[in-house]
Amino acid sequence: MKLVTVVGARPQFVKCAPLSREIRKEHTEILVHTGQHYDPEMSDVFFRDLAIPEPDYHLGVGSGSHGEQTGEILARIEQVLLKEKPDMVIVFGDTNSTLAGALSATKLHIPVAHVEAGLRSFDRSMPEEINRVVTDHVSDLLFCPTRTAVRNLADEGITRGVHLVGDVMVDALEYNRHIAAKKSRILERFGLPPGGYLVVTVHRPANTDNWEHMDAILSALGESGQPVLFPVHPRTKKMLNEFGCWSVLPKNIIVTEPLGYLDMLQAMANARKILTDSGGMQKEAYLLGVPCITLRDTTEWVETVEDGWNVLVGADRGKISEAIVAFSPEKTRSMIYGEVGASGRIAKILGRRSGLSGG
């Protein structure tokens, strides 16, 4: 079976790595990197750390408005699909690359497999929510990480081709966390004591493009008095430059360029708490057993909140400060994202689809 896999952003590189290892045992994979994340620290380092094969195609789309970026990716992927004539296209998650890959394949009557299907924040103001919904409705195989995701699809009338496989991120963390512990020197580099610092990431426009939100977040971090490791996303760096706030950044915040996957994994695994507006990092925090404070009012990873390991605080300075001090999960984590092996289960289903054994 000939598969085209579309990736373009950090979370997709992480999910692609374990799945690519499995599907290449039985199938031919053509890897397409859209270039949605084009900064070397947001792209190249992940391919290196995760030992992902070099992309067969690098579309080099770069930044732009949501419509501009999605349209450009769609047009360029179409040319790849016309040339390669794959049996199926695989997309991950909820980015513009996800939507463009799914739409391009659908227009050419090529079946689509969506890894991480069925997630919903029920917040249509988020571009990612639109991407999720549309991608699910044009997909032929929908690989769900949780039972909640399966129910969400059923509520929208999608029941064919739905498979509860667990989360490929479990595979990624299990494979890489021990490698990170051996290879990464991130804690020594910044003098961070295990369990004695915070990690924060901010990249969503609702926060980065709003000075009041950024000021509230940074002020709450300053009030914590704890070391705060802050890998700055290129978009966030651009907006902080525009706001001219570097000179008033609290002294306990350690600013660094975006980290590679192994360094970021080691930093998260040893943090006291993680603060983020990233969907993927909420789940990574949960899988690592680190309390997560989410700088949003909604989340697609509702199970992390229901299980008591994630709290939604938005960009409210008081709520952020309170959560840094007082938020503490009171129960052990459940197996809500399944056991290791989601990548193998997906490969087996793909194998059945093509008439192969799938290993």
pLDDT digits (tens, 9 = 90+) for 248-297: 789 999 999 999 899 999 999 999 999 999 999 999 999 999 999 999 99
pLDDT band at 51 (very low <50, low <70, confident <90, very high): confident
CA terminus-to-terminus distance, the chain: 14
What CATH number is associated with residue 215?
A: 3.40.50.2000
pLDDT top residue among 353 and 281? 281
Judge contact between 145 and 172, C-beta under 8 A: no
160 and 304 in a common domain: no
Residue 102 lies in a domain: yes
Give the structural domain span for 138.
2-166+341-354
Task: Give me the percent of the chain exceeding a pLDDT of 70.
Answer: 96
158 and 62 in a common domain: yes
153 and 17 in a common domain: yes
Cα pseudo-dihedral 134, 128, 173, 285, rounded to 10: -140
pLDDT band at 184 (very low <50, low <70, confident <90, very high): very high
226 and 127 in a common domain: no
Per-residue model confidence (pLDDT) at position 264: 95
199 and 157 in a common domain: no
- Give this prediction's pTM: 0.88
8 and 154 in a common domain: yes
Residue 239 lies in a domain: yes
Residue 312 lies in a domain: yes
pLDDT above 80 (res 195): yes
Residue 273 lies in a domain: yes
Judge contact between 134 and 93, C-beta under 8 A: no
Residue 331 lies in a domain: no
160 and 16 in a common domain: yes
pLDDT above 70 (res 19): yes
| DSSP assignments along 70-134, one per residue | HHHHHHHHHHHHHHH--SEEEEETTSHHHHHHHHHHHHTT--EEEETTT-----TTSHHHHHHHH
161 and 195 in a common domain: no
User: Count of domains in the chain?
Assistant: 2
pLDDT tens, residue by residue, 89-138: 999 999 999 999 999 999 999 999 999 999 999 999 889 999 999 999 99
Residue 256 lies in a domain: yes
53 and 186 in a common domain: no
Alpha carbon 180 to its chain's center: 18
pLDDT band at 358 (very low <50, low <70, confident <90, very high): very low
Closest to 293 (Cα-Cα) out of 273, 269, 265: 273
Active site residues: 203
Residue 268 lies in a domain: yes
306 and 228 in a common domain: yes
232 and 111 in a common domain: no
195 and 145 in a common domain: no
Residue 359 lies in a domain: no
